[in-house]
Amino acid sequence: MKHKLSWIAILLIAISGFSAPASALLKCGGPTIRANDPPFNTSPGIVNQDVGITDDEFVRIGLLTEIAGLYRSTYGQSKLPVGSTFKMVYKDNSRECATVVSKLASPGVFPVAGSQRAGGGPMEVEGTSLYIQMFNLNKPEVGWYTVCYDYYSNGTLTATECSVQAW
């Protein structure tokens, strides 16, 4: 009987790993582009529209295509090639993954179905690794550190994503 109980405990632990907060993680690959950060916050699509994941898909496609073009003009034409993905964080902190399907056509970027996440409000922090680098600027250390991102929705923690990175 002990043997069966241990398998039940293992099964319960395994099931708990698939909790609702884990489903809120958003890993897109590629860069994260934030609508509130320069140079994207001066883009006509950002300035003149208040776009988020609840807006019509065609509106988001137009903005994603514009933002991908601005990213390439800022960081180099070889960036965001066809087939690449990036995370778009809108002004309201809602976010979604996008895939580049063409560098020449419009539309050239499409949202990834099912990747839309509501914004977490002012408590959400996605750039933790940049903060750690700034904090440790005068203390060069070699080794490993863990970076965790907490995602909030209406003041409630919805997910945590951690990764180990070399310093």
pLDDT profile of the chain (167 residues), mean per 10: 39 33 61 93 86 93 95 94 94 92 90 86 47 50 62 73 65
Whether 160 is in a domain gets the answer yes
Residue 75 has what pLDDT? 94
Written as one letter, the residue type at 150 is D
Residue 82 has what pLDDT? 94
- Residue whose tokens read 């690794």: 129
Residue 28 has what pLDDT? 84
Residue 142 has what pLDDT? 55
Whether 101 is in a domain gets the answer yes
160 forms beta bridges with 150
Summarize pLDDT for 83-131 with one digit per residue, the tens: 999 999 999 989 999 999 999 888 899 999 989 988 765 444 444 444 4
Whether 10 is in a domain gets the answer no
What pTM did the predictor assign? 0.59
Q: Which residues span the domain enclosing 121?
A: 21-166
Residue 167 has what pLDDT? 56
Whether 15 is in a domain gets the answer no
Whether 13 is in a domain gets the answer no
| Per-position b or e across 101-123, b if 16+ CB within 10 A of its CB | eeeeeeebbbbeeebbbbbbeee
164 forms beta bridges with 146
Whether 14 is in a domain gets the answer no
- Number of folded domains in the chain? 1
Whether 7 is in a domain gets the answer no
Whether 3 is in a domain gets the answer no
Name the burial class of residue 63, with classes exposed (0-12), middle (13-18) and buried (19+) by CB atoms within 10 angstroms of its CB.
buried
